[in-house]
Amino acid sequence: MPLGQKSELWKLEEDPGEAQGLVNAQLSGAEESSPSSSCSALFLIPVDNRSAAGSLSPPQSLQHACLSPTAMASTAGNQPYQGSSSSDEGGLSTWGELEVTQPFLQEKLRMKVADLVEFLLLKFRTKQPTSQAEMLEIVSKDYHDYFPVILGQAFECMQLVFGVDVKEVDPSEHFYVLVTVLGLTCDEMLSGEQGPPKTGLLVVLLGVILLEGDRAPEEVVWEALGVMGVYAGEEHIIYGEPRELLTNVWVQEGYLEYRQVPGSDPARYEFLWGPRAHAETSRLQVLEYLLRVNRGLPVSSWPHL
């Protein structure tokens, strides 16, 4: 991030009232090309939640969550992952190019991304590191030439959908650890019964609250989350029943405040950051995250927060 922009973000930490203006300005290009609101521009991976979520097996659910046509369109222009694990000396195609030139191959690669994401989620739940060698085994030797593309899409899905960063801790041996983004700990005690990590949704919600001037009307929140296929009262593949999650679970955990708008009649409600959100992350970190992911940068160029 350029030094000038970094300075602007530090100013925003001191004066949060300017946050909405800066982020909206950074997202103006997205708004010009789409009728969606500035909040809608945050959601890079819409999740198709309408097709028999309860009957999907884990690999199928992951394909719906990470790799629906709308999801792939959101990252179609991204370049392949350029990390130390592989190189693109062979001129590997982007997802957008594959969709046009080799749609059957792209569908096969989608399945491999889903397999890799399922493997990474297991590593996250069990708090185990992983390695390039393990991930290559998941991909299988028939698709090793496309490993950089598969890896980049899997890492991006882990971060944007589940709120989990895959960080390389040993470049010489290509070892990785999986941690929640922005230091948030809401998924650290995750068990098998609790389903997939939900930090990704929490980060988006914290961003919506910032864009609304530190307090987001409930109707604005649900309109924004609807872009992701997340609807109040409707069971979601990843996030469960979202109203329960937002107004009960995360309120009890201290990540959110959910309160009646003072003086509203009939009663209206709004969301604010809770004390735990303020303790574990900051406006600056959330703003940096939103600016970074909305530029569509390749995974290899995403700086650690």
Within this chain, do residues 178 and 110 fall inside the same structural domain, yes or no?
A: yes
Long-range Cβ contacts of 173-180 (<8 Å, 24+ apart): 173/131, 174/84, 174/85, 174/131, 174/132, 174/133, 175/129, 175/130, 175/131, 176/129, 176/130, 176/131, 176/132, 177/129, 178/120, 178/123, 178/124, 178/129, 178/130
What is d(CA 90, CA 94) in angstroms, rounded to the nearest whole number?
Answer: 12
Question: In terms of domains, do 180 and 235 share one?
Answer: no
pLDDT digits (tens, 9 = 90+) for 44-67: 444 444 433 333 344 445 555 565
* Mean of all residue pLDDT scores within the chain: 71
Q: Does the pLDDT value for residue 9 go beyond 80?
A: no
Range of lowest pLDDT (47-51, 173-177, 228-232, 242-246): 47-51
pLDDT score, position 110? 86
> What is the Cα Rg of the chain in Å?
19
Angle, to 10 degrees, between the axis of helix 3-14 and the axis of helix 19-26?
150
With 60 as the cut, is the pLDDT of residue 189 above it? no
In a domain, 303, yes or no: no
Query: Which of 172, 192, 212 is the C-terminal boundary of a domain?
Result: 192
pLDDT tens digits for 60-93? Answer: 455 555 654 334 433 433 433 344 333 344 444 4
CA-to-CA separations, 175 to 84, 137, 272, in angstroms, rounded: 11, 14, 38
Q: Which helix (H) or strand (E) holds 272?
A: strand 269-273
| Helix (H/G/I), strand (E/B), else coil: 81 | coil
Within-domain flag for 305: no
Torsion of CA 195, 198, 201, 206, to 10 degrees: 150
Query: Given this model, what pLDDT does residue 185 score?
Result: 84
- Is residue 68 domain-resident? yes
- Find the domain containing 38 and state its range: 3-44+194-286
pLDDT score, position 194: 59
38 and 61 in a single domain? The answer is: no
Does residue 39 lie within any of the structural domains? yes
Same domain? For 75 and 126 the reply is yes
Q: Is 160 found in the same domain as 272?
A: no
The number of C-alpha atoms within 13 Å of 77 and in the hemisphere containing its C-beta is 6
Q: Is 291 a domain residue?
A: no
Q: What is the pLDDT of residue 159?
A: 86
One domain for residues 201 and 174: no
What's the rounded mean pLDDT across residues 232-253?
90
CATH assignment of the domain containing 125: 1.10.10.1200
Instruction: Please count the structural domains in the chain.
Output: 2
Band (pLDDT 50/70/90 cuts) for residue 15 is: low
Residue 124 has pLDDT above 70, yes or no: yes
